[in-house]
């Protein structure tokens, strides 16, 4: 500390010196610099307040003259800061030590160093770079099948199940790991898994990570980053579009792995049909796929096409179980099925092999939970690329829009080059959160997630993935006693729709039973029949999602705690079949019949009319709720 003798200040000098200290406290430069000595932004005002009292009482004469001369300015702050830092180190040593430990436990600047066994290897990384329908994944999978041991990681259960089945049909023994199920094949040398379930502790000859552009996804990107940094494979094959190429070059420079890139082009060109469908579904043809961005729109389009034309429609969207989506895809791909048009959401962007002649965008904007926004160009290109497939009835694809007014934006999107992904997603593993929590006793898990987000350190190569859904689930679990930190961490990652009160209520019930060490029961019966209307289909979807959540939890907690796992798997399989049957039966003709029945009932007595109105009101409310949930998802 400065040892000059203090000097009494006049009232005017105190006022002028106060202005200098005000600027020091409020402008922000000093607050930022204080982080270097581990004075965080929350503690900074308290530290400045004490420093102000100290400095006003014991202001050294030489410094006082300088500060009064220069006044409140940048130069004054630069004079003051070294004294402030020395004062803090002397007065707040305990607080500084605690914050230093906190920051150290939240340090995410060198995630490649978290996996020393992998870093001890010299891996060969091959980036298969190309658009949809270019053969990039096929090439990587050939190497996967030829390898002595191999792991395939992908974003969807649907994809993992497809590779699992194809591998075993090819004579390569392959197991399956997803969040909801594990199928262990005796003597298996290969594994197909969702990327979050990748086995990182076992050595592999070849690893294939599919759709690696998702490493930049704001919610799930951490799973791709972790898989790439941690997989112990001699060869790592990355399949993705050009947007992530430079990012993975940067990651490979940090991991010291050899990097090779292979580039691919579409087998057949994708052309833009600039005439559009003229806003009329009468122009729909066999092999067309109409893309809509909400569940409500999908069913509206399906019913309108079936009412106005002779075509029958299959549907694919995210809320359907993988088995149902596969069933609908097979129906659409079969020329003899009679179902020759597909109505789908952006869920067709990856994971299904579809014989699509032409992609038609019903619109090029979607609801993001708050407002309608234009569909990003990268997503437009991903979906459009599903048109045309090598070896199918339609090797050359077309893309257009329902309305001519959307054609200019479609053309703009298709012309845009892929935008480079700026950084890779990260999220702390449990051990990091546990270490961080040890510095902050007596706070809830939801508060812990907030504090970690505030204090974590990252460099420009990485970003912290959003955890909004996790925090909502954590807040719902805070009131449940008896859960360990690890229990809460695992419950928060369960596949639950945090916007749906029924789903959240089920998760709370499961967590409460687990915390009391009693068996977690489903408490749900099987539907007695297939659904005959939209609301019935939605009910089946909701039931399947609840079963999926139960199965996921049974994979991540001790088996005895979830004794109805096999029953849940059987129910989920049956409900997926019922959904497939319901979607086949739910046609435009059936909708017309129901509309006629409703009109007849309206002509009956007042009681009948009131019943119809109540039914319509309930359906309207259900559809509004579904729209909000599914658009947001």
Q: pLDDT tens digits for 425-460? A: 999 988 888 888 887 878 899 999 999 998 888 988
Q: Any residues with CB less than 8 A from the CB of 239 and at least 6 apart, and which?
A: 128, 136, 137, 140, 208, 209, 210, 211, 212
Same domain, 153 and 191: yes
* Average pLDDT value for residue range 145-174: 96
* Average pLDDT value for residue range 539-552: 95
pTM (two decimals): 0.79
Per-residue confidence band for 153, with pLDDT thresholds at 50, 70 and 90: very high
For residue 462, is it within any domain? no
For residue 454, is it within any domain? no
Residue 184, SS3 per DSSP: coil
Same domain, 250 and 279: no
Which of 363, 393, 415 terminates a domain? The answer is 415
Residue that wins the pLDDT comparison between 40 and 298: 298
Could you give the CA distance from residue 392 to residue 396 in angstroms, rounded to a whole number? 9
Residue that wins the pLDDT comparison between 625 and 319: 319
Could you give the CA distance from residue 114 to residue 52 in angstroms, rounded to a whole number? 43
Distance of CA 570 to the CA centre of its chain: 28
Same domain, 243 and 306: no
CATH code of the domain containing 301:
3.40.50.300
For residue 465, is it within any domain? no
Domain limits for position 251: 116-263
Per-residue confidence band for 592, with pLDDT thresholds at 50, 70 and 90: low
pLDDT at 151 over 60: yes
Residue 29, SS3 per DSSP: helix
Same domain, 94 and 128: no
Write out the two tokens for 568. Answer: 């849940």
Same domain, 487 and 626: yes
Which of 105, 134, 150 terminates a domain? The answer is 105
Same domain, 626 and 524: yes
For residue 6, is it within any domain? no
Q: Are 41 and 99 in contact (CB under 8 A)?
A: no
Closest listed residue to residue 37, CA positions, set 79, 80, 93 = 93
For the segment 201-254, what is each residue's pLDDT rounded down to a tens digit? 999 999 999 999 999 999 999 999 999 999 999 999 999 999 999 999 999 999
Same domain, 379 and 522: no
Which of 361, 390, 415 terminates a domain? The answer is 415
For the segment 454-498, what is each residue's pLDDT rounded down to a tens digit? 888 898 899 999 998 999 999 999 989 889 999 999 999 999 988
Same domain, 523 and 602: yes
Residue that wins the pLDDT comparison between 422 and 36: 422
Same domain, 179 and 302: no
* Average pLDDT value for residue range 339-353: 90
For residue 110, is it within any domain? no
Residue that wins the pLDDT comparison between 608 and 183: 183
Structural domain count of the chain: 4
With a pLDDT cut of 90, the percent of the chain lying above it is 61
* Average pLDDT value for residue range 90-115: 83
CB atoms within 10 A of CB 566: 10
For residue 121, is it within any domain? yes
Same domain, 277 and 259: no
Residue that wins the pLDDT comparison between 485 and 1: 485
What pLDDT sits at residue 597?
Answer: 52
For residue 562, is it within any domain? yes
Closest listed residue to residue 328, CA positions, set 304, 351, 307 = 351
Q: Are 295 and 626 in contact (CB under 8 A)?
A: yes
Same domain, 409 and 488: no
Same domain, 197 and 258: yes
pLDDT at 630 over 90: no
């Amino acid at each position: 500390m400065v040892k000059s003798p203090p000097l009494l200040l006049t009232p005017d000098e105190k006022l002028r010196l106060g202005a200098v200290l005000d600027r020091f406290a409020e402008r922000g430069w000093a607050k930022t610099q204080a982080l270097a000595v581990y004075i965080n932004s929350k503690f900074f005002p308290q530290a400045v307040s004490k420093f102000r009292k100290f400095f006003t009482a014991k202001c050294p004469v030489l410094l006082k003259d300088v500060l009064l001369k220069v006044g409140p300015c940048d130069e004054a702050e630069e004079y003051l800061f070294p004294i402030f830092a020395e004062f803090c180190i002397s007065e707040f040593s305990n607080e500084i030590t605690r914050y230093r430990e906190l920051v150290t436990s939240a340090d995410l600047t060198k995630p490649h160093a978290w996996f020393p066994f992998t870093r001890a290897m010299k891996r060969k990384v091959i980036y298969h770079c190309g658009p949809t329908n270019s053969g990039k994944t096929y090439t990587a999978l050939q190497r996967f099948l030829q390898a002595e041991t191999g792991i395939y990681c992908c974003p969807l259960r649907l994809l993992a199940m497809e590779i699992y089945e194809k591998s075993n049909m090819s004579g390569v023994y392959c197991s399956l790991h997803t969040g909801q199920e594990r199928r262990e094949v005796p003597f298996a040398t290969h594994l197909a898994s969702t990327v979050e379930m990748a086995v990182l502790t076992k050595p592999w000859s070849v690893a294939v990570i599919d759709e690696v552009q998702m490493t930049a996804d704001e919610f799930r990107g951490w799973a791709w980053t972790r898989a790439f940094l941690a997989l112990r494979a001699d060869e790592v094959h990355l399949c993705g579009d050009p947007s992530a190429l430079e990012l993975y070059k940067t990651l490979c420079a940090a991991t010291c792995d050899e990097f090779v890139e292979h580039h691919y082009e579409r087998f057949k060109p994708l052309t833009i049909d600039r005439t559009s469908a003229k806003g009329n579904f009468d122009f729909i043809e066999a092999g067309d796929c109409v893309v809509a961005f909400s569940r409500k729109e999908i069913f509206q389009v399906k019913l309108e096409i079936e009412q106005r034309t002779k075509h029958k429609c299959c549907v694919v969207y995210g809320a359907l179980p993988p088995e149902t989506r596969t069933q609908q895809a097979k129906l659409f791909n079969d020329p003899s099925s009679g179902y020759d048009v597909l109505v789908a959401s952006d869920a067709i962007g990856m994971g299904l092999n579809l014989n699509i002649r032409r992609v038609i965008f019903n619109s090029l904007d979607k609801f993001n939970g708050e407002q309608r926004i234009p569909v990003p160009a990268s997503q437009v290109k991903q979906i459009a690329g599903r048109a045309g497939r090598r070896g199918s009835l339609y090797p050359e694809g077309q893309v257009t829009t329902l309305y001519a007014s959307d054609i200019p934006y479609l053309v703009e999107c298709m012309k845009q080059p892929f935008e480079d992904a700026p950084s890779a997603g990260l999220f702390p593993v449990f051990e990091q959160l546990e270490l961080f929590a040890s510095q902050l006793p007596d706070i809830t898990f939801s508060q812990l997630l907030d504090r970690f987000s505030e204090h974590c350190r990252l460099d420009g190569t990485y970003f912290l993935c959003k955890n909004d859904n996790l925090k909502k689930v954590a807040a719902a679990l805070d009131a449940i006693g008896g859960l360990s930190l690890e229990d809460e961490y695992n419950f928060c990652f369960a596949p639950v729709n945090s916007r749906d009160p029924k789903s959240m209520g089920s998760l709370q019930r499961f967590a409460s039973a687990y915390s009391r060490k009693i068996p977690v029961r489903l408490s749900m019966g099987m539907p007695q029949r297939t659904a005959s209307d939209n609301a019935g289909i939605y009910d089946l979807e909701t039931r399947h999602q609840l079963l999926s959540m139960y199965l996921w939890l049974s994979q991540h907690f001790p088996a005895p705690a979830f004794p109805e796992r096999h029953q849940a798997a059987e129910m989920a399989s049956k409900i997926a079949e019922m959904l497939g049957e319901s979607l086949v039966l739910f046609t435009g003709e059936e909708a017309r019949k129901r509309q006629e029945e409703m009109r007849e009932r309206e002509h009956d007595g007042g009681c009948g009319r009131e019943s119809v109105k109540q039914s319509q009101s309930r359906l309207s409310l259900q559809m509004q709720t579904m729209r909000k949930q599914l658009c947001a998802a």
